[in-house]
Amino acid sequence: MTPAVRIGVAGLGTVGIGVLRLLSQHADLLARRCGHRLVVDAVSARDRTRDRGVDLSSVRWFDDAAALAEDPRIDVVVELIGGAEGTGRKVVERALASGKPVVTANKALLAVHGGDLVPAAERQGVALAFEGAVAGGLPIVKTLREGLVANSLDSVVGILNGTCNYILTQMRETGRDFAEVLAEAQALGYAEADPSFDVDGIDAAHKLAILAALAFNGRVDFADVMVEGIREISALDIDFAEILGYRIKLLGIARRGANGQVALRVHPAMIAPGKPIASVEGVLNAVVAHGAPVGSVMSVGPGAGAGPTASAVVADLVDVVRGHNPPGFGAPADGLPPLAVAPPDDRLGAYYLRLMVVDRPGVIADIAAAMRDHTISVESLVQRGRAPGESVPVVIVTHDTSERQMLGAVARIAELDAVLEPPRLIRIEQMDD
């Protein structure tokens, strides 16, 4: 008889139930592929009485998830609770301390505490697998850590949050504004009742921190990631982007400069429609890795949900059972240095600046003076329509300039009495081919 590997699953939300169903439905296939039966022996969740649509009568129930992690009958612990602190962290720490391999989809935990947990796993000689933590159904962790191991990477850029990508896609395709499309995304289940984790860029930033650690083999301090969400993107900005020949995407960007420092930024960005990542729409995720000698490699697919994330979690389980245990961040963790992160205002690039101003003589001259005084060269200026004495949009596209200079100019422009609302600044990104 095929020997069994006993699995303990902590967390029975959407992904946890997806994992249980996948292990049951593909039990024979998985046993053939890894040489062992993957048997769920125990589970833990907050509410024992809730009907989750799966039969749990044959498994042991733990009210204390940390006790499940330490149970001697459990061979592999799967942590799907989530969160950087609290029970999820405790489960992973106790499982590793007990010498048990761990599979997790907890992006927040890895982003904030991965620099401690990955070395702890390696010292114990057990796996800490986390493919499901980044971009769901895309095997991007394995791609960076193993498939591209022969390459020196200089950038990893991605659409890392399907909710934001859906909202921006719908805004462009329908002309509706952010609030209306967000409400639709919530009704469809693409956005949470409290969407801040997604639309404020935090989810994407967690994933970017993990990708940067993998791509550049360094310890990432999550506090070093610059984060800006999409709440302030308006239908007007989407429209002007189209006019100027761009599309707006929320990008996570990890890019190494000539000085060896790595920029870590999550923010809306304008990119040319001819770039492959610009065509990634709806709830899909995409990651573009660029390095030598391979050039650019793009992975595209569903980034969240029960099916894609459960697929990644079970793939990690199969790797663990097969004995596959590469270094978590691509190189032995105890020797990994802290990643040298570039200050956000060191960025050099072009910018889109939208202003709502009173249409009167002298306004453009005042704006131009602020740009001139901060040594910013203007590539183009667009004013839509005329409405003397009323509010009109003015859009400026700059040549490459430093973010430090750009922010200085924007602060001065915001003080002009003819400027009626906070300026909207969006970075224009040149993607690697």
Q: Which are the contacts of 21, defined by CB distance < 8 A and separation ≥ 6?
A: 54, 306, 310
Is residue 326 in some structural domain?
no
Both 293 and 238 in one domain: the answer is yes
Range 332-352 average pLDDT: 91
In the block, residue with structure tokens 């190494």 = 256
Both 264 and 361 in one domain: the answer is no
Range 77-85 average pLDDT: 94
With the C-alpha atoms ordered 389, 390, 395, 401, is the resulting torsion angle positive or negative?
positive
Average pLDDT, the chain: 93
* Cα–Cα nearest to 56, from 24, 27, 31, 82: 24
Q: What is the pLDDT of residue 264?
A: 98
pLDDT > 80? residue 428: yes
Q: What is the pLDDT of residue 384?
A: 74
Is residue 32 in some structural domain?
yes
CATH of the domain at 150: 3.30.360.10
Both 84 and 63 in one domain: the answer is yes
Is residue 309 in some structural domain?
no
Both 8 and 33 in one domain: the answer is yes
Residue 168 tokens read as 């921006």
Tell me, what amino acid is at 219? R
Domain housing 393: 347-428
CATH of the domain at 391: 3.30.70.260
Using DSSP's 3-state secondary structure scheme, residue 408 falls into helix
How big is the chain, counted in residues?
Answer: 433
The per-residue DSSP string of 125-175 comes to: T--EE-GGGSSTTS-HHHIIIIITTTSEEEEEEEE--HHHHHHHHHHHHH-
Both 164 and 297 in one domain: the answer is yes
Both 274 and 178 in one domain: the answer is yes
* Cα–Cα nearest to 192, from 161, 169, 226, 235: 161
pLDDT > 80? residue 107: yes
Both 147 and 93 in one domain: the answer is no
Asked if 265 contacts 226 with a C-beta cutoff of 8 angstroms, the reply is yes
Instruction: Using alpha carbons, list the distances in angstroms from residue 290 to 81, 96, 194, 432.
Output: 33, 33, 35, 7
164 backbone dihedrals φ, ψ, rounded to 5°: -65, -40
Considering 107, 207, 249, 275, which one is annotated as catalytic?
207
**pLDDT single digits (tens) 315-330:** 999 999 999 999 989 8
* Cα–Cα nearest to 142, from 360, 329, 361: 329
Domain finish residue from 105, 133, 161:
133
**pLDDT single digits (tens) 176-218:** 999 999 999 888 888 888 999 999 999 999 999 999 999 999 9
Q: What is the pLDDT of residue 311?
A: 92
| Stronger pLDDT, 348 or 56, i.e. the higher one | 348
Both 154 and 297 in one domain: the answer is yes
Both 122 and 181 in one domain: the answer is no
207 a catalytic residue:
yes
Is residue 321 in some structural domain?
no
Q: How many domains, in total, are found in the chain?
A: 3
Is residue 181 in some structural domain?
yes
pLDDT > 80? residue 1: no
Asked if 228 contacts 268 with a C-beta cutoff of 8 angstroms, the reply is yes
Both 187 and 286 in one domain: the answer is yes
Q: Which are the contacts of 286, defined by CB distance < 8 A and separation ≥ 6?
A: 158, 159, 276, 277, 280, 298, 299, 300
- For the beta carbon of residue 381, count every other beta carbon within 10 angstroms: 14
Both 73 and 219 in one domain: the answer is no
Both 105 and 148 in one domain: the answer is no
Is residue 322 in some structural domain?
no
CATH of the domain at 56: 3.40.50.720
